[in-house]
Chains A and B, each alone.
Chain A
Amino acid sequence: MLLININLIKKSLIVLFSIVWIVVVAEVFLMVFSPKPMLPRYIMGTDYGIRGNMPNQEYTHKTPDYTVGIKTNSHGIRANQEIDYAKSATTKRVVVLGDSFGMGYGVNIEDTFLTVLENSLESKGIDVEIVNLSVSGHGNAEELIKLQNEGLKYSPDLVLLSWHKTDIDDNVRSQLFKFDEISGQLVRKNDQYLPGVKLREYLFSFTIYRWMAGNSHFYNWIREFISYNTRNILAYFRTEKINSNKTSDSGHENNKKLTVSILSKMQDLARANNSEFLILDVPERLSRDSFISRFPRNNLGKAYSFNVVSPIDEFYKHKGELLYWEQSHGHFTPLGCQLVGDLLASRIIELGIFKNN
């Protein structure tokens, strides 16, 4: 009997050791043969029902391409300094809404396109202050709520939206807005959209988890693997649903219409508060030599009534150069940021945005 128990314990220990060892070997394997981007997102829920950056955090993003430090202030804004709601009379304020592109993933704060924009405008004698309210993963629906609840408190002279192709799907998925069945107007649907935030907040309260998120290739690979396949499965069922209703084209049109309506509402809100509204259309990179815009357009090929800045022409002048990181999640490189920031500055001046305020 005793012999059996010893054997059982021995076998259990071997199994336990093997599991731990497999994780260790997998970690080393990934580190050597296929390093993974480690981009932990320090996200929490906000009082107004959407995701926000955790305040006062300092962490690192590591990928095979780069290592970048991220720091948030007490408002969860990626910035090295605090920004008061009140602004000085001589300063022009730009409130930025966006996702990870807007937040400046992939580059240090001094290289983000917003810093380039700020410096460029300063060099032209415009005293400007950037308030970057971007949160990785946000779609336009969340950005509108962010503007309503937080952005307007900063009394912006310009609301700059960093628009990315994922926004169309994000706006549908979040179900924060819908069209009213009777009036056809855009109305609020759900009070909150906090996917996985509770779990994330809980996990990030553990030091070991925070360490893994920022340092373990194996953890990040598993997380990507699960997230990629979950997205695929969900996308499959969504496609099936659309196909069974035979409304795939009209479904796509409805999604586009929802995005345009949210953007219009954002523009109206900005203008009602004496602010201009400008959209940066982040192009999709097809290759080093090829880029495409996914911004919704009307039948005439126009971007509706929006002021849209697209850096595609600038990117084509630099085709072949490294404008997006290629081994991580495809955010802008410092060169990409430089081109975007300079273009935004010249377009803002060209449109005379700050003269009217």
Chain B
Amino acid sequence: MLFNSLEFAVFFIVVLSIYWLLKGRLFMQNGILLAASYLFYGWWDVRFLFLIVVSTVVDYSVALIIDSGTISKLQRIKASSFLLVSAILFVVIQYDSLALNFTGFMPVLDIQWGSLLSDSMGLWVFSGSVLLVLVANIIYPYIALLDEVRRRKLFLLLSITSNLTILGFFKYFGFFAESLTAVSEGLFGITPNWWTLDIILPVGISFYTFQTMSYTIDVYRRELKASHQLVEFATYVSFFPQLVAGPIERGKHLLPQFRNLRPSLTWDDCREGSWLIAWGLFKKMVIADGVAVVVNSTFGPYDNLTSGGLVPDDGLRLLVALYAFAIQIYCDFSGYTDIARGVARLMGFNIMLNFRLPYFATSPSSFWQQWHISLSTWLRDYLYIPLGGNRGGNYKTYRNLSLTMLLGGLWHGASWTFVIWGAYHGFLLSIYRALGIRTEKGAYPRWKLVVMGIVMFHLTCIGWLIFRAQNVSTISIFLQSIILSPFGSLEAWIDFKTLIFYSWFLIVFQVLQGITGSLDPMKNWHWFIRLNVWVYVIMSLLVLSTTDSKEFIYFAF
């Protein structure tokens, strides 16, 4: 289910109404959120809900054992039943005949219930679940015999391994198989006969696996108490506003919000929540989808370079396309986050900030403090610092930075261009550090900061070129043309006009955000100005947005 679709609007209105009708009943409110989250995710592909359930049950149980060394009988029964019921549902739903039909306005969910154990996949899932439940319950009494340090480490390892196995299998299996084949052919002239699989990437897998891993690590570090309520924890893992494209929430921040009674909705909650939703939809449906025309018309021919067709090669047009992609990816991703935060806010939740004017960054480190903050802080806390961070001299710091960014690049997708993109950012971070360019406030005069901001924006754009390009030749042609023949054609001018047409309001608004130092400058504006901004945004959504719902780019990660 996409945020920018009619079915989500209907879904959200219904969920929000029921949710607030249950005000004061915490368990029921969490329950309705869990059901809504599973419906939200299952709308896309109900099969992969089972992966979320596995991840939930494993991390729920593991965290309890890490935290207190025990898991009560009732908790074990709950966790086991949850897994087994999910496995049964996985088996009895006949997926081939499950279809979402959209005729006119009314979605029709056509589920036909199949026979138990109807196919081999169902058999594997069901027997695997039974086996997991049996083994876990049989070996449980022996866990108490382990000493605390060993037990905690062992179960942390179990959580990390299970999450990385799910992620690795569904996201990286094909990539590593192909890469090993290429290496084997190149070095030894042997083409290995791998067992290959055509695997669908489950939406949001990178987000929720990282979220659950951070939870068990925090429990292990004793920074967070393990959750005793299965429904509360399952809702935290699958909370629909941020399930498929983040922000990657920390247990420390989000879990307490599920534990405590929701306070009444305030006027500020309504104002900020609805503004975040409208602003996020505007960024996605008007700006990102609008400038996508420029991006696709220029990058498109490059995506099929091998077919030998003509590609646009005037430097100015390529530069405009690059700027357009920078705007597109920012608006697409931050738009999603804004909607997620707005939706959560209307339900009384506070989801973490994921973007803070990233294109105003003056250095690579400030860029990563402002872009996809939930991922960069995750990488910092669970990878960079455990690797040693900046302790241990320059060489080790550069190594840690590069390794962290390399893996950060790989997180985005199973492709070498993402690895190169990560390496590029690791390289930038190291260079800036080696040059001693400081990032703290007041280090440079304002004009110098502006220059540094412009330089950083263009360095970021080079990164986006690596990110967007489907092959290395595209990167090379783009850079050569932009630097050596920066001339424009009529198409460059038309593309530039389109880019400005869609993004001028964002630029003005962000400059105002930068000047006022507030991400919500509207709060302090006169109501009449706010009214005009609202009318502009709503009219843009109604008039300038495309009619079909386009997927968010970060769904692929």
Contacts and interface: CB of A to CB of B under 8 A. Distances in A.
A30 B539 contact: yes
A232 B103 CA distance: 10
Contact of A26 (B105, B539, B544): B539
B104 A25 contact: no
Interface string A6-30: 0000000000001001100110011
Contacts of B532: 25
Contacts of A175: none
A233 to B, nearest CB: 7
B539 A232 contact: no
A34 interface: yes
Contacts of A221: 543
Contacts of A26: 535, 539
Contacts, number: 40
Contacts of A243: 103
A239 interface: yes
B106 interface: yes
A30 B544 CA distance: 10
A206 interface: no
B44 interface: no
Nearest to A29: B539
A236 B101 CA distance: 13
A237 B104 CA distance: 8
A239 B535 contact: no
A243 B536 CA distance: 41
B77 interface: no
A243 B106 CA distance: 14
A101 to B, nearest CB: 25
- B interface, how many residues as a size bin? 10 to 19
Contact of B104 (A18, A29, A232): A232
Interface in A302-342: none
Given A22-B531, A22-B535, A26-B535, A33 B543 contact: yes
Contacts of B539: 25-26, 29-30
A235 interface: yes
A327 B85 CA distance: 56
Contact of A235 (B104, B501, B535, B543): B104
Interface in B528-543: 531-532, 535-536, 539-540, 542-543
Main secondary structure of the interface of A (DSSP, over half): helix
A236 B536 contact: no
- A interface, how many residues as a size bin? 10 to 19
A33 B505 CA distance: 12
B315 to A, nearest CB: 28
Contacts of A18: 531
B531 A29 contact: no
A233 B104 contact: yes
A238 B229 CA distance: 50
Given A18-B531, A21-B531, A22-B531, A29 B543 contact: yes
Of the listed residues B103, B106, B539, the one surrounded by the most CB atoms of chain A closer than 10 A to its CB is: B539
Interface in A202-244: 221, 225, 232-233, 235-237, 239-240, 243
Nearest to A228: B547
A34 B105 CA distance: 26
Interface in B93-137: 103-106
B27 to A, nearest CB: 39
Interface of A: 18, 21-22, 25-26, 29-30, 33-34, 221, 225, 232-233, 235-237, 239-240, 243
**In the A-B complex, the 5 residue pairs with the closest CB atoms:** A236-B104, A25-B535, A29-B539, A34-B543, A22-B535
9 contacts: A25-B532, A25-B539, A26-B535, A26-B539, A34-B544, A233-B104, A236-B105, A240-B103, A243-B103
Given A30-B539, A33-B501, 13 more contacts: A22-B531, A25-B539, A26-B535, A29-B540, A33-B543, A33-B544, A34-B543, A221-B543, A225-B542, A232-B104, A236-B104, A240-B103, A240-B104
